[in-house]
Chains A and B, each alone.
Chain A
Amino acid sequence: MAVASPSTVMNNVEAVRHTLYEALKNDERTLVLGEDVGARGNVFLITKGFIEEFGAERVIDTPLAEASIVGVAIGMAMEGLRPIAEIQFADFIYPAFNQIVGEAAKTRYRSNGDYTCPLVIRTPYGGGVRGALSHSVSIEALFYHVPGLKIVAPSFPADIKGLLNAAIDDPDPVLFLEHKKTYRLVKGEVPSEHYTIPIGLADVKHPGDALTVVSYGLYVHQAIEAAQRLAGEGLSVEVIDLRSIRPMDRTTILASVRKTHKLLIVHEDNKFGGIGAEIAAMVAEEAFFELDAPIRRLCGPDVPAMGYALPLEEEFMVSTDEMADAMRELVRY
C-alpha cells in the first residue's frame, strides 16, 4: 500500500460492501448468491443495489436451502467462476456442513489437483446483539478441524477489505466470518486502491511486553481497550489480532510469547475444543521453556446457546472488565 494513497472512513458493513462491489465490477467471474442478497439487498444492506447494477445472473437470490447455496457455488467454482456465497447467519450454516467439509474442502485432494474450489463463503457470526439462540453462534471451531479449509475473521475495515480480496483470489475454499456486532460499531480508514492481506498473517494491534493476548473478532476491540486501560496503570500488554484463524500465524504468536513469557487467549466461541485450545497446545509444544505462567483462556461458557435474556447474554459474553482483570492477574503473576 502506498503511504499517501487516498482512503475513506468506513464501518465494517461498508468495508464488506465496498470490497464486494469492486470485485463484481472488476472481475466478471465473480458473483454473489444467498438468501435475500438480491432484491432485498442483504439483511444488513451489504448488497443493496447490486442486483440492479450487475443483474440477477451475478446477484442471485436463492431459496432457504444452505446446502444448495454452497453446493451450487462449489460447482460454479470448479468450473472457473469465483462465487461468493452468503449464509445469512452463521447459525444456519449446519445444513451446508456436508457441502463445505465433505466436498469443498476435499475438491483439490480428491481430484488430485485437477480441480480447485475457489469459493468464498461469507457469514455474519457472533453475539452480544440480543440475537438469542439462533442469531448469536460462533461456528469457527466446527470447521477449524478440517484440513483444506481456510477460516478468516477480520474485524477492522481495512483488514476486511484486504482479506476479502485475498479470499476471492484464493484458489481454495475460504470461510469468511464477519462479527455482526462490529458491523456498525467499528469504523476505520480503508485505502481506496485494490490490495490484499495474506491469509494466515496475524497483526499486533497493541504492542506490549509483559503479556501476550491473542484474540479475533469483536473481542480484539475489547482487548485493545483493556490493554489501553492497563497501560494507564503501567502494565504493558500486547494484543494480537489473529485475523486469520486457520492457517494460524505461529510466527507472530511465538515471537510475542518469547518476549512476554505469558499468554492469554480470548474468544467468544466455547472454550472446550476451541481455537484457544489449539493455540495453547501449539505454544506449549513450541515454547515451553518461554512460559512464565500457565496459559489462560477466557472464552464462552460450554452451554448450548446464548440466551435471549440480557443477564444470560451478559453471562455468556466476556466483558472488557473481565479481560482487564485477567490481564492484570497474569501480568502480576
Chain B
Amino acid sequence: MTITMPQLGETVTEGTVAQWLKKPGDAVEKYEAFVEVSTDKVNAEVPSPVSGVLREIICKEGETVATGAPIAIIDEAGVVPEPPAETSPAAPAAVPATVSASNGSSNGSHGGNGVATTSGLRRFSPAVRRLAREHNVDVAAVSGSGTNGRVTARDVLAAANEGPSAAMAATLAREPAKATVAPATAQPAAAASTYAAPTPGTIVPLTQARKIIAKRMVESLAIAPHAWTMVEVDVTKLWRWRAQEKDAFLASKGYPLTLLPFFIHAVVQALKGQPMLNARFTDDGIHVLGAYNIGIAIGLETNLIVPVIRDADTLSIGGIAVAAGKLIEKARAGKLGADELGGGTFTVNNTGANGSILSKPIINGGQAGIVTMEAVVKRPVVVDDAIAIRSMMNVCLSLDHRVLDGTIANAFLADLKKRLEAMRPGGDL
C-alpha cells in the first residue's frame, strides 16, 4: 500500500521526512516506527499501518511534501501489491495505525468523547498519551474500558504493568559499549535558511540508550523530590584488609576484590535497619520491599547501565564480589539480559572509581534512594585530639523525600559508617 505524509496537527499542511528508520527491502511490523517526520510543530516517529516489506521510498530524507502526498510503498504481507496508480490524493492523511485495512468499524460515534471518529481516527486524552509514552505502551494495541471503548489512563497503566516493562532495559543492554564516534560532517542544513551559518560544530545523534537515559533522569528528578546528605567514613582499616586479601581472592575466584563488595555488604545490612530506604513511593502508600536487590551503576563509554545483584542479603562479601564481577564483565560486553537489569530495590554508585570525592546522584526511578562511594583519599583528620593521616571516603546519599525524611536517612548513613569503620583485617569475607 502507498503510505502518505501524515497530518501531524490540525493546522499542519506539510511535513519533512527527517529520517528513514527502514531501508527498502526491510521488513516492517504493523505499528513499528518506520519513518521520522518533522513539521514546524512536532517531530514524530510514524508507525506502520501494516506488516510487510518496505518496497520503495518515494520521499527522500530532508524532503518536504504536502500532507497526503505519497512518501513510500509498503508491500503488505500476504497481499498482492497494489498498482501505484490507485493512490488517491484525497485519502485521509491518518495516523497510520488506524488506516481502515485494520479497522472497518466506523460506527459513527465521535466528537468530544474521543474514541473512534467517523474517519476512523482514534483520539487519546493527554494523560493517556503521556502515560503511553512514559511506559512505552502502544496505545493502539490497548483495549479500552471507558465509555464507547475509550482507552483510559488506567488502561494504559494496566497494560504497562502486564507488558514487558523490561523492554526498555533490554534495549539498554543490547546497545554495546563500543565507542561511538561523532560524524565529522555536520548535518545538512535546511536549504532555505538565509541567516548566517552557526558556529561549526557537530551533533552527536541520540542513541536509543541515550534517549532512555535522558528520559529517565528527567522523570526521576521531576517526580521524586531529591534531598541530599553526606557522611565521611574512615576506611583505613578496611583499606588495609582489602589490600591483604585482594591478590589471593583474584587468584582463587577469578574476580577482583574491590571496595565495592565490602560497601554493598554494609549497605544491605544498614538497609535492613532502615527499611524505608528499601522502598518505593506509590499513591496507595509506601511500598516497603521484601527483597534486597542492589543495583550497581556502571558507566560505559557512551552510556550508563545499572545491573542488579539479586538477594544481596544472602551473599557474603566474597559472593557479592563474584556477582558484581560477572555483571560488570557482561555489561562491558553488552551482554546483560533484561532479567539482570530489572527489579532493583536500591542503588549503589561507585563514583569514586573515577576520582570523584563528592557527587549528587539522581535516584534510579521508583527507588527511595541511591548511595555513592567516593574516592578514598588520605587526609589529616582529628583522632582523639591528635591529627592523624587516615584513608577517608565520603558517602553521599540522595533520597526520595516523599518516602522518608532526613532523620531516617542520617540514621542509615550513621549505621553504614559504623559498619564500614568496623571492617578490618581478619573479618569474614
Which A residues have a C-beta under 8 Å from some C-beta of B?
A: 209, 259, 261, 288-294, 329, 332-333
Contact = CB atoms under 8 A, between A and B. Distances in A.
B125 A292 contact: yes
Contact of A259 (B113, B146, B283): B283
Interface in B147-186: 147, 150, 152-154
Given A333-B150, A333-B152, A209 B126 contact: no
B283 A291 contact: no
Given A209-B283, A259-B283, A292-B152, A332 B147 contact: yes
A294 B126 contact: no
A293 B113 CA distance: 8
Given A290-B126, A292-B153, A333 B146 contact: yes
Nearest to A330: B147
B146 A291 contact: no
A251 B126 CA distance: 20
Interface in B118-152: 125-130, 146-147, 150, 152
B45 to A, nearest CB: 19
Contacts of B154: 292
B126 A332 contact: no
A291 B131 CA distance: 11
A51 to B, nearest CB: 52
A293 B125 contact: yes
Given A332-B147, A333-B146, A333-B147, A292 B127 contact: yes
Contacts of A293: 125
B201 interface: no
A291 B147 contact: no
B112 interface: yes
Given A209-B283, A259-B283, A333-B152, A292 B128 contact: yes
Contact of A294 (B112, B128, B152, B153): B112
Given A209-B283, A261-B153, A333-B152, A290 B127 contact: yes
Q: Which label, helix, strand, loop or mixed, suits the secondary structure of the B interface?
A: helix
Interface residues of B, number: 15
Given A209-B283, A289-B126, 14 more contacts: A259-B283, A261-B153, A289-B127, A289-B129, A292-B125, A292-B126, A292-B152, A292-B153, A293-B125, A294-B112, A333-B113, A333-B146, A333-B147, A333-B150
A32 to B, nearest CB: 44
Complex A-B, nearest 8 residue pairs according to Cβ-Cβ distance, in ascending order:
A292-B153, A292-B127, A289-B130, A292-B125, A261-B153, A261-B127, A289-B126, A291-B126
Contacts of B126: 288-292
A258 B164 CA distance: 25
Contacts of A291: 125-127
Contacts of B129: 289
A290 B113 CA distance: 17
Nearest to A329: B147
A292 B151 CA distance: 9
A333 to B, nearest CB: 5
Contacts of A332: 146-147
Contacts of B125: 261, 291-293
A209 B153 CA distance: 12
Nearest to B133: A289
A292 B132 CA distance: 12
A284 B126 CA distance: 10
A281 B127 CA distance: 17
Contacts of B152: 292, 333
A293 B130 CA distance: 13
A291 B124 CA distance: 10
Contacts of A290: 126-127, 130
Contacts of B153: 261, 292
A259 B282 CA distance: 10
B406 to A, nearest CB: 22
B282 to A, nearest CB: 11
A262 B112 CA distance: 15
A288 B113 CA distance: 17
Nearest to A289: B130
A290 B154 CA distance: 12
A333 B148 CA distance: 9
A229 B271 CA distance: 44
A293 B148 CA distance: 13
15 contacts: A209-B283, A261-B125, A261-B127, A289-B130, A290-B127, A290-B130, A291-B125, A292-B125, A292-B126, A292-B128, A292-B152, A292-B154, A294-B112, A332-B146, A333-B150
